[in-house]
Amino acid sequence: METIPGMKYISALAVVLVMWGIVSWMVGSMLIPGPIDTFLRLGQEVRDPAFWKHVFTSFYRVIGGVACGFVTAVPLGLLLGANEKMDRWCSPLIYLSYPIPKIVFLPVFLLLFGLGDISKILLIALIIFFQLLLTTRDSARQIETEMIYSFNSLGGSRLHYFRHVVWPVSLPGIFTSLRVGTGIAVAVLFFVESIGTRRGLGFYIIDAWGVADYTGMFVGIIALSAIGVILYEIFDLLEKKVCQWKQI
Amino acid sequence: MDISPDLLDVEHLTQTYGNGAGDKTVLHNVTFSLSRHTSLALVGPSGCGKSTLLLIVSGLLQPSGGTVTLDNVIRTGPGRDVGVVFQQYGLFPWKTTRDNILLGARMQNIRVSEDTLTELVQELGIQGLGHLYPNQISGGQRQRVALARALLLDPKLLMLDEPFAALDAITREHLQNHLLSVFQRRRFSFILVTHNIEEAVFLGRRIAVMNSEQCGIQTIIDNPGMGRPEFREHPDFFRQVGIVRALLKDQ
């Protein structure tokens, strides 16, 4: 059945709003403000430049973190996936460090890189890094022997191999990882912004909570969620554009 | 070194896997030659080293011993003189058929004119498919694209590894005829690896029967009738098929 584009999104959003309304009504709007109150307040906030400063700060921190994770993890993942020997050397190190909850290094990062943006961006990058590294490496490993022979028979160099085979083979996996990573990055963003900063939506939410402004708190939650949704959609659109062959 | 009139000279080729006591020899002392504009079909049971031999001659696998000489030059790796077609097509699903065909030329910085490409594509009956991805076309069309890709740089030798094994009987026969007509128009030689005796007799000007116990070529027989599509219906064809079948049964 043909559906209007975006219809699914709108109906899912409607379900969430209705459920939110019901919970708010059951628990009481003092603790959980309903969607109408929250959106009215959001309407006021978007006219305040201070609110946009928080949004913008959170946005560049999360983008910066994902970008740093991407430019370090993806090349390394491609290299390890395509190079068995190197992978054998690095694997124990990765397996050892993968299960460590990197988020506990926040105090260390704050000590090393200060209270500014760098410590926050780097912690997001570190967490995204491991996830992207493993998925990229595993995607790059999928190349079948016949594919390698076929490529070699065409007389390409090692660099060509990465460009024409390893990179396109790994792209769908990289995009999946980026989409999953978006949720993680926004969660980490909230955590890093709740400590030692006066800017960003994490601070905005915690600050509103501290003064019992629960409607303000929900406005912050919605704005942070919107960042997550926008990033997710960007990666989704990019994948559809770049991996056209996968859609067929 | 003597100058050989042959296009291809394979001498004392040996391939062993593993090291030490558990060595597995796949090819042992394989020697044969191939003249210009002719074809050789390699038949034999599974595991007799057919595909290994093809990979070595293509320059895709380094032999444990022996040499492969093409046009009096010892081969050390793949090159534009040899085109290869694989059983599972070996096409890159993320590239359009046009980009698949042109990839080798692009990587080797060889300019291919639009006319050359159009002519080749028409010759192989795959015009109008350039913008499609491999999974949008049929198995037979994919193998034609793979053939076009291998032939684009005008190789002296074409290597075909079970190229029609994944296709249905009618498509296979159609493509066998097509390969034959392309072969007759162009000046390349080809080596065809197959486990299908009829295919070997239809396409091989000479037929090498391989033996897994000897790890090499048991015998090479001449097949002078090869070269016409009607050969398939000729009594000589069935006689040759019988001879090859008997040779394989004796192993």
pLDDT in tens, A116-131: 899 999 999 999 999 9
What is the distance between the alpha carbons of residues B120 and B131, in angstroms, rounded to a whole number? 16
> What is the DSSP secondary-structure string of B19-80?
SSTT-EEEEEEEEEEE-TT-EEEEE--TTSSHHHHHHHHHTSS--SEEEEEETTEE--S--T
Find tokens 């190079």 and name the residue.
Answer: A83
| Chain B residues touching A240 at Cβ < 8 A | none
Rounded to whole angstroms, how far apart are CA atoms A167 and A165?
Answer: 6
- Residues whose CB is less than 8 angstroms from the CB of residue A63 and which lie 6 or more positions away in sequence, other chains included: A231
What is the identity of the amino acid at B98?
A: R
Q: Round the average pLDDT of chain A to a whole number and report it.
A: 92
**What is the arithmetic mean of pLDDT over A76-93?**
92
Q: For position B66, what pLDDT does the model report?
A: 93
Q: Does A142 touch chain B (CB under 8 A)?
A: no
A150-205 tens-digit pLDDT: 999 999 899 999 999 999 999 999 999 999 999 999 999 999 999 888 999 999 99
Tell me how long chain B is: 251
- Shortest CB distance from A164 goes to which of B60, B80, B92? B92
pLDDT the model gives residue B18: 78
Contact (CB<8Å) A149/B135: no
Q: Which residues pair with B30 in a beta bridge?
A: B13
Query: Cβ neighbours of residue B199 under 8 Å, at least 6 residues apart?
Result: B41, B164, B172, B176, B192
Residue A39 clears pLDDT 70, i.e. is over it: yes
Q: Beta strand pairing status for B65-70 and B73-74?
A: antiparallel
Q: Which of A149, A160, A165 sits opposite B60 (nearest CB)?
A: A149
Q: What 3-state DSSP class applies to B209?
A: strand
Confidence (pLDDT) at A45: 94
Nearest residue to B50 (alpha-carbon basis) of B222, B191, B244, B147 = B191
- Strand-strand pairing, B65-70 and B8-17: antiparallel
Q: What pLDDT was estimated at residue B167?
A: 86
The ipTM, to two decimals, is 0.91
Q: Name the residue facing B90 among A147, A164, A248 (closest C-beta).
A: A147
Domains in chain B and their CATH numbers?
A: 1-37+48-75+190-251 (3.40.50.300)
CB B126 within 8 A of CB B101: no
State residue B1's pLDDT score.
52
State yes or no: pLDDT of A57 exceeds 90.
yes
Beta-ladder partners of B160? B85, B192
**B83 contacts in A (CB within 8 Å)?**
153
Q: If we measure between CA atoms, which residue out of A147, A150, A71, A68 comes closest to residue A109?
A: A68
* Among B residues 151-170, those touching chain A with beta carbons less than 8 Å apart: none
B119 burial via Cβ count (<10 Å: 0-12, 13-18, 19+):
exposed
Instruction: Report chain B residues whose CB lies below 8 A from the CB of A169.
Output: 94
pLDDT value at position A164?
95
Contact A135, A173 (CB under 8 A): yes
The reported pLDDT for the residue numbered A3 is 61
CA distances from residue A101 to A126, A188, B200 in whole angstroms, order as listed: 11, 12, 61
Top-confidence residue, A29 or B33: B33
Site from A147, A154, A170 to mutate, B interface, most B CB atoms within 10 angstroms: A154
- Inform me whether the C-beta atom of residue A145 falls under 8 Å from chain B C-beta atoms: no
> Which B residues 94-113 touch A at CB under 8 Å?
94-95, 103-104, 107-108
Q: What is the pLDDT of residue B249?
A: 86
| B229 vs A: CB within 8 A | no
Chain A residues touching B149 at Cβ < 8 A: 154
Among chain A residues, the shortest Cα distance to B149 is held by A154
d(CA B241, CA B198): 6
Return the SS3 of B208: strand
In chain B (251 residues long), the average pLDDT of successive 10-residue segments reads 80 85 84 93 88 93 93 89 92 95 94 93 92 93 94 93 89 90 91 93 94 86 88 92 90 75
Say if the Cβ atoms of A146 and B107 lie within 8 Å: no
Residue A234: its pLDDT value, please? Answer: 94
Residues of B in contact with A157 (CB under 8 A): 107
Confidence at residue B211, expressed as pLDDT on a 0 to 100 scale: 86
pLDDT value at residue A165: 95
- Chain A residues with CB under 8 Å of B94 CB are 168-169, 171, 243, 245-246
Three-state SS at A68 = helix
Among A150, A169, A171, select the one facing B86 at the smallest CB separation: A150
Cα(B39)–Cα(B191) distance, integer angstroms: 6
Query: What are the backbone angles phi and psi of residue A6, rounded to the nearest 5°?
Result: 85, -5
The answer to whether the CB of B217 falls within 8 A of the CB of B208 is yes
User: Residue A75 and residue A170: Cα distance in Å, rounded?
Assistant: 11
Chain B interface disruption, residue of A142, A148, A153, A159, most B CBs within 10 A: A153
Q: What is the dihedral of CA A102, A108, A109, A113, to 10 degrees?
A: -170
Q: How far is B246 from chain A (nearest CA, A)?
A: 32
- CB neighbour list of residue A73: distance below 8 Å, 6 or more residues apart: A128, A129, A130, A131, A132, A133, A136
Per-residue model confidence (pLDDT) at position A187? 95
